[in-house]
Amino acid sequence: MTRYDVLGLGNAIVDVLARTDDAFLVAHGLAKGSMRLIEEDEAERLYAAMGPATIVSGGSAANTIVGIASLGGSAAFVGKVKADEVGRHFTHDIGAAGVAFYGAPAGDGAATARSFILVTPDGERTMNTFLGACRDLGPEDVDAEAVRAARIVYMEGYLWDPPAAKQAFRKSVEIAHANGGTVALTLSDSFCVDRYRDEFIGLLRDGSVDLLFANEHELKSLYATADFDTALAALRQENVLAAVTRSGQGSVVVDREATIAVPAYPIEKLVDTTGAGDLYAAGFLFGFARGASRADCARLGAMAASEVIQHMGARPETSLKDLAADNGFAV
Protein backbone atom coordinates (compact mmCIF):
# COMPACT_ATOMS: atom_id res chain seq x y z
CA MET A 1 0.00 0.00 0.00
CA THR A 2 1.33 3.44 -0.94
CA ARG A 3 1.90 5.66 2.09
CA TYR A 4 4.15 8.31 0.59
CA ASP A 5 3.93 10.47 -2.49
CA VAL A 6 7.71 10.82 -2.40
CA LEU A 7 10.54 9.32 -0.36
CA GLY A 8 13.85 11.16 -0.53
CA LEU A 9 17.31 9.76 0.02
CA GLY A 10 20.08 12.25 0.60
CA ASN A 11 22.54 14.07 2.80
CA ALA A 12 21.17 15.25 6.14
CA ILE A 13 22.80 18.66 6.50
CA VAL A 14 22.33 21.73 8.65
CA ASP A 15 22.98 24.96 6.73
CA VAL A 16 24.92 27.87 8.19
CA LEU A 17 24.06 30.90 6.04
CA ALA A 18 25.71 34.31 6.06
CA ARG A 19 25.64 37.35 3.81
CA THR A 20 28.98 38.32 2.31
CA ASP A 21 30.54 40.06 -0.69
CA ASP A 22 32.69 39.05 -3.63
CA ALA A 23 35.82 40.31 -1.88
CA PHE A 24 35.35 37.76 0.92
CA LEU A 25 35.07 34.95 -1.64
CA VAL A 26 38.23 36.09 -3.41
CA ALA A 27 40.12 36.45 -0.14
CA HIS A 28 39.29 32.86 0.79
CA GLY A 29 39.85 31.40 -2.67
CA LEU A 30 36.19 30.42 -3.14
CA ALA A 31 34.66 29.98 -6.61
CA LYS A 32 31.44 31.96 -6.63
CA GLY A 33 28.33 29.82 -7.12
CA SER A 34 30.15 26.55 -6.52
CA MET A 35 29.73 23.71 -4.05
CA ARG A 36 32.88 22.14 -2.63
CA LEU A 37 33.56 19.55 0.04
CA ILE A 38 35.64 20.54 3.06
CA GLU A 39 36.92 18.83 6.19
CA GLU A 40 35.97 19.73 9.75
CA ASP A 41 39.05 21.85 10.48
CA GLU A 42 38.39 24.07 7.46
CA ALA A 43 34.72 24.21 8.39
CA GLU A 44 35.64 25.67 11.76
CA ARG A 45 38.01 28.24 10.20
CA LEU A 46 35.40 29.35 7.69
CA TYR A 47 32.73 29.63 10.36
CA ALA A 48 35.02 31.82 12.45
CA ALA A 49 35.61 34.15 9.48
CA MET A 50 31.96 34.43 8.42
CA GLY A 51 29.70 37.24 9.48
CA PRO A 52 26.51 36.77 11.55
CA ALA A 53 24.91 33.48 10.52
CA THR A 54 21.47 31.96 10.27
CA ILE A 55 21.33 28.24 11.12
CA VAL A 56 18.61 26.17 9.45
CA SER A 57 18.22 22.53 8.48
CA GLY A 58 19.05 21.80 4.85
CA GLY A 59 20.36 19.18 2.48
CA SER A 60 19.20 19.13 -1.15
CA ALA A 61 16.83 16.16 -1.15
CA ALA A 62 15.68 16.97 2.40
CA ASN A 63 14.69 20.48 1.29
CA THR A 64 12.69 18.98 -1.57
CA ILE A 65 10.91 16.54 0.73
CA VAL A 66 10.02 19.31 3.18
CA GLY A 67 8.62 21.29 0.24
CA ILE A 68 6.41 18.34 -0.74
CA ALA A 69 5.07 18.16 2.81
CA SER A 70 4.38 21.92 2.72
CA LEU A 71 2.29 21.35 -0.42
CA GLY A 72 0.20 18.81 1.50
CA GLY A 73 1.95 15.71 0.18
CA SER A 74 2.89 12.65 2.17
CA ALA A 75 6.67 12.49 2.38
CA ALA A 76 9.55 10.58 3.96
CA PHE A 77 13.31 11.02 4.10
CA VAL A 78 16.27 8.67 4.59
CA GLY A 79 19.46 10.30 5.86
CA LYS A 80 22.29 9.94 8.38
CA VAL A 81 22.94 12.14 11.41
CA LYS A 82 24.98 11.73 14.58
CA ALA A 83 23.47 11.87 18.06
CA ASP A 84 24.81 15.39 18.61
CA GLU A 85 23.25 18.83 18.95
CA VAL A 86 23.27 19.49 15.20
CA GLY A 87 21.76 16.05 14.52
CA ARG A 88 18.99 16.69 17.02
CA HIS A 89 18.32 20.03 15.33
CA PHE A 90 17.94 18.34 11.93
CA THR A 91 15.75 15.53 13.30
CA HIS A 92 13.46 17.99 15.08
CA ASP A 93 13.06 20.23 12.05
CA ILE A 94 12.23 17.51 9.53
CA GLY A 95 9.73 15.94 11.91
CA ALA A 96 8.13 19.31 12.62
CA ALA A 97 7.69 19.75 8.86
CA GLY A 98 5.52 16.63 8.76
CA VAL A 99 8.09 14.34 7.17
CA ALA A 100 8.67 10.74 8.31
CA PHE A 101 12.40 10.47 9.03
CA TYR A 102 14.20 7.16 8.62
CA GLY A 103 17.58 7.86 10.17
CA ALA A 104 18.61 6.39 13.52
CA PRO A 105 21.30 8.73 14.95
CA ALA A 106 24.80 7.28 15.05
CA GLY A 107 26.36 7.07 18.49
CA ASP A 108 29.90 7.52 17.26
CA GLY A 109 31.83 8.57 14.17
CA ALA A 110 31.86 11.95 12.44
CA ALA A 111 29.65 14.86 13.47
CA THR A 112 26.40 15.71 11.71
CA ALA A 113 27.03 17.43 8.37
CA ARG A 114 27.04 21.19 7.96
CA SER A 115 27.08 23.38 4.87
CA PHE A 116 28.50 26.89 5.14
CA ILE A 117 26.62 28.96 2.58
CA LEU A 118 27.82 32.43 1.65
CA VAL A 119 25.22 34.63 -0.06
CA THR A 120 26.37 37.65 -2.09
CA PRO A 121 24.16 40.72 -2.72
CA ASP A 122 23.03 39.32 -6.10
CA GLY A 123 21.48 36.33 -4.31
CA GLU A 124 24.09 33.85 -5.56
CA ARG A 125 25.20 31.22 -3.04
CA THR A 126 28.60 29.62 -2.59
CA MET A 127 28.49 26.37 -0.64
CA ASN A 128 31.21 24.75 1.47
CA THR A 129 30.06 21.41 2.81
CA PHE A 130 31.43 19.20 5.57
CA LEU A 131 29.70 15.86 4.93
CA GLY A 132 30.43 14.38 8.35
CA ALA A 133 27.99 11.62 9.27
CA CYS A 134 26.58 11.61 5.73
CA ARG A 135 29.68 9.72 4.63
CA ASP A 136 28.42 6.76 6.66
CA LEU A 137 25.05 6.50 4.91
CA GLY A 138 24.88 3.02 3.40
CA PRO A 139 22.49 0.35 2.15
CA GLU A 140 21.77 -0.79 5.71
CA ASP A 141 20.11 2.59 6.33
CA VAL A 142 17.57 2.07 3.52
CA ASP A 143 14.23 0.91 4.94
CA ALA A 144 12.91 -1.42 2.24
CA GLU A 145 9.30 -1.16 3.38
CA ALA A 146 9.44 2.63 3.24
CA VAL A 147 10.82 2.52 -0.31
CA ARG A 148 8.09 0.08 -1.36
CA ALA A 149 5.50 2.44 0.12
CA ALA A 150 6.52 5.40 -2.06
CA ARG A 151 5.16 6.36 -5.48
CA ILE A 152 8.41 8.17 -6.24
CA VAL A 153 11.91 7.68 -4.82
CA TYR A 154 13.96 10.86 -5.17
CA MET A 155 17.74 11.01 -4.82
CA GLU A 156 20.40 13.68 -5.10
CA GLY A 157 23.58 13.62 -7.16
CA TYR A 158 25.57 14.58 -4.07
CA LEU A 159 25.10 10.97 -2.92
CA TRP A 160 27.77 10.02 -5.44
CA ASP A 161 30.51 11.53 -3.24
CA PRO A 162 30.39 9.06 -0.29
CA PRO A 163 31.04 5.55 -1.71
CA ALA A 164 28.61 3.67 0.57
CA ALA A 165 25.81 6.03 -0.42
CA LYS A 166 26.07 4.79 -4.01
CA GLN A 167 25.17 1.33 -2.72
CA ALA A 168 22.20 2.81 -0.83
CA PHE A 169 21.17 4.55 -4.06
CA ARG A 170 21.32 1.35 -6.10
CA LYS A 171 19.46 -0.65 -3.44
CA SER A 172 16.67 1.94 -3.46
CA VAL A 173 16.45 1.86 -7.27
CA GLU A 174 16.12 -1.92 -7.27
CA ILE A 175 13.38 -1.95 -4.62
CA ALA A 176 11.45 0.94 -6.17
CA HIS A 177 11.42 -0.51 -9.68
CA ALA A 178 10.51 -3.98 -8.41
CA ASN A 179 7.39 -2.42 -6.89
CA GLY A 180 6.38 -0.23 -9.81
CA GLY A 181 7.77 3.00 -8.37
CA THR A 182 9.36 5.91 -10.22
CA VAL A 183 12.98 6.84 -9.56
CA ALA A 184 13.94 10.51 -9.79
CA LEU A 185 17.42 12.04 -9.65
CA THR A 186 18.63 15.61 -9.36
CA LEU A 187 22.12 16.31 -10.68
CA SER A 188 22.65 18.70 -7.74
CA ASP A 189 25.58 20.80 -8.95
CA SER A 190 27.65 21.26 -12.10
CA PHE A 191 30.86 20.57 -10.15
CA CYS A 192 29.29 17.31 -8.96
CA VAL A 193 28.48 16.45 -12.58
CA ASP A 194 32.08 17.19 -13.58
CA ARG A 195 33.23 14.57 -11.08
CA TYR A 196 30.76 11.85 -12.07
CA ARG A 197 29.65 12.63 -15.63
CA ASP A 198 30.07 9.12 -17.03
CA GLU A 199 28.35 7.50 -14.06
CA PHE A 200 25.37 9.85 -14.23
CA ILE A 201 24.96 9.22 -17.95
CA GLY A 202 25.18 5.52 -17.16
CA LEU A 203 22.27 5.83 -14.72
CA LEU A 204 20.14 7.41 -17.46
CA ARG A 205 21.02 4.76 -20.03
CA ASP A 206 20.80 1.63 -17.87
CA GLY A 207 17.24 2.41 -16.81
CA SER A 208 18.02 3.35 -13.21
CA VAL A 209 16.51 6.83 -13.53
CA ASP A 210 13.04 7.63 -14.88
CA LEU A 211 12.83 11.34 -14.07
CA LEU A 212 15.78 13.76 -14.14
CA PHE A 213 16.13 17.25 -12.67
CA ALA A 214 18.93 19.61 -13.71
CA ASN A 215 19.62 23.27 -14.19
CA GLU A 216 21.08 24.48 -17.47
CA HIS A 217 24.64 24.63 -16.12
CA GLU A 218 24.43 21.03 -14.88
CA LEU A 219 22.96 19.91 -18.20
CA LYS A 220 25.75 21.53 -20.19
CA SER A 221 28.27 19.92 -17.86
CA LEU A 222 26.60 16.52 -18.32
CA TYR A 223 27.09 16.63 -22.08
CA ALA A 224 30.39 18.56 -21.95
CA THR A 225 29.17 21.47 -24.07
CA ALA A 226 28.90 25.23 -23.62
CA ASP A 227 25.77 25.37 -25.79
CA PHE A 228 22.41 24.82 -24.11
CA ASP A 229 20.58 23.76 -27.29
CA THR A 230 23.22 21.12 -27.99
CA ALA A 231 22.86 19.75 -24.46
CA LEU A 232 19.07 19.75 -24.73
CA ALA A 233 19.21 17.86 -28.02
CA ALA A 234 21.40 15.21 -26.39
CA LEU A 235 19.00 14.95 -23.46
CA ARG A 236 16.08 14.33 -25.83
CA GLN A 237 17.80 11.14 -26.96
CA GLU A 238 17.78 9.65 -23.45
CA ASN A 239 14.88 7.45 -22.39
CA VAL A 240 13.85 9.69 -19.48
CA LEU A 241 11.53 12.52 -18.63
CA ALA A 242 13.55 15.58 -17.63
CA ALA A 243 12.85 18.98 -16.12
CA VAL A 244 15.55 21.59 -16.75
CA THR A 245 15.48 24.91 -14.89
CA ARG A 246 16.86 28.13 -16.38
CA SER A 247 16.58 30.66 -13.54
CA GLY A 248 14.60 33.70 -14.71
CA GLN A 249 13.88 32.02 -18.06
CA GLY A 250 11.71 29.38 -16.39
CA SER A 251 12.04 25.69 -17.13
CA VAL A 252 11.81 23.17 -19.94
CA VAL A 253 10.20 19.73 -19.63
CA VAL A 254 11.65 17.27 -22.14
CA ASP A 255 11.30 13.71 -23.35
CA ARG A 256 11.70 12.05 -26.75
CA GLU A 257 8.23 13.13 -27.89
CA ALA A 258 7.78 16.68 -26.66
CA THR A 259 9.39 19.81 -25.22
CA ILE A 260 7.32 22.11 -22.99
CA ALA A 261 8.59 25.53 -21.91
CA VAL A 262 7.11 27.06 -18.74
CA PRO A 263 7.94 30.60 -17.54
CA ALA A 264 9.30 31.50 -14.12
CA TYR A 265 6.96 32.96 -11.51
CA PRO A 266 7.32 36.71 -10.92
CA ILE A 267 8.96 37.77 -7.66
CA GLU A 268 9.23 41.03 -5.75
CA LYS A 269 12.88 40.70 -4.75
CA LEU A 270 15.60 38.09 -5.19
CA VAL A 271 17.17 37.47 -1.79
CA ASP A 272 18.87 34.06 -1.81
CA THR A 273 18.91 31.40 -4.54
CA THR A 274 19.72 28.62 -2.05
CA GLY A 275 17.13 25.88 -2.49
CA ALA A 276 15.62 27.18 -5.72
CA GLY A 277 16.22 23.92 -7.58
CA ASP A 278 15.22 21.86 -4.54
CA LEU A 279 11.85 23.57 -4.26
CA TYR A 280 11.26 23.45 -8.00
CA ALA A 281 11.69 19.69 -7.72
CA ALA A 282 9.27 19.65 -4.77
CA GLY A 283 6.51 21.28 -6.78
CA PHE A 284 7.14 19.16 -9.85
CA LEU A 285 7.28 15.88 -7.91
CA PHE A 286 4.14 16.69 -5.94
CA GLY A 287 2.24 17.40 -9.14
CA PHE A 288 3.67 14.29 -10.80
CA ALA A 289 2.67 12.07 -7.86
CA ARG A 290 -0.86 13.47 -7.98
CA GLY A 291 -1.28 12.99 -11.74
CA ALA A 292 -0.98 16.62 -12.87
CA SER A 293 -0.03 17.48 -16.45
CA ARG A 294 3.65 18.05 -17.14
CA ALA A 295 3.06 21.75 -17.68
CA ASP A 296 1.25 22.03 -14.33
CA CYS A 297 4.05 20.07 -12.64
CA ALA A 298 6.50 22.66 -13.94
CA ARG A 299 4.23 25.52 -12.89
CA LEU A 300 4.00 24.13 -9.37
CA GLY A 301 7.78 23.85 -9.35
CA ALA A 302 8.19 27.45 -10.48
CA MET A 303 5.75 28.65 -7.84
CA ALA A 304 7.55 26.78 -5.03
CA ALA A 305 10.94 28.06 -6.21
CA SER A 306 9.63 31.64 -6.29
CA GLU A 307 8.73 31.42 -2.60
CA VAL A 308 12.10 30.16 -1.39
CA ILE A 309 14.29 32.64 -3.31
CA GLN A 310 12.58 35.62 -1.67
CA HIS A 311 14.02 34.91 1.79
CA MET A 312 17.15 33.47 3.37
CA GLY A 313 17.27 29.70 3.69
CA ALA A 314 16.34 26.73 1.53
CA ARG A 315 13.00 25.76 3.03
CA PRO A 316 9.61 27.44 2.67
CA GLU A 317 8.56 30.02 5.23
CA THR A 318 4.92 30.00 4.18
CA SER A 319 2.50 27.17 3.44
CA LEU A 320 3.06 26.10 -0.16
CA LYS A 321 -0.35 24.43 -0.09
CA ASP A 322 -1.99 27.78 0.64
CA LEU A 323 0.20 29.52 -1.94
CA ALA A 324 -0.79 26.92 -4.54
CA ALA A 325 -4.47 27.42 -3.76
CA ASP A 326 -4.06 31.19 -4.06
CA ASN A 327 -2.50 30.64 -7.51
CA GLY A 328 -5.34 28.47 -8.77
CA PHE A 329 -3.87 24.99 -8.23
CA ALA A 330 -6.22 22.34 -6.85
CA VAL A 331 -4.06 20.63 -4.21
Which pLDDT does position 26 carry in this prediction?
Answer: 95
pTM above the 0.85 mark? yes
Residue type for position 331:
V
Is residue 257 scored above 70 in pLDDT?
A: yes
CA distance 279 to 68: 8
**Largest separation between any pair of C-alpha atoms in the chain:** 54
* Tens digit of each residue's pLDDT (9 = 90 or more) over 65-89: 999 999 999 999 999 999 999 999 9
Using a 10 angstrom Cβ sphere, with 0-12 exposed, 13-18 middle and 19 or more buried, the burial of residue 102 is: middle
Mean pLDDT is lowest, of 108-112, 201-205, 235-239, for 108-112
From the number of C-beta atoms within 10 Å of its C-beta (0-12, 13-18, 19+), residue 237 rates as exposed
SS3 151: strand
Gap between the Cα atoms of 267 and 160, Å rounded: 34
pLDDT for res 35 = 83
Task: For residue 307, give the nearest of 326, 288, 289 by alpha carbon.
Answer: 326
Structure confidence at residue 93 (pLDDT): 94
To the nearest whole number, what is the mean pLDDT of the chain?
Answer: 94
Closest CA to 183 of 222, 212, 158, 206: 212
Lowest mean pLDDT among 187-196, 199-208, 276-285: 187-196
Contact 191, 34 (CB under 8 A): yes
Q: What is the mean pLDDT of residues 203-214?
A: 97
- Helix (H) or strand (E) segment spanning residue 102: strand 100-102
For 185, what's the count of Cα atoms within 13 Å in the CB-facing half-sphere?
25
Query: Quick one: average pLDDT of 174-198?
Result: 94
Can you tell me whether residue 252 is helix, strand or coil?
strand
**Could you give the domains of the chain?**
4-10+61-110+136-326 (3.40.1190.20)
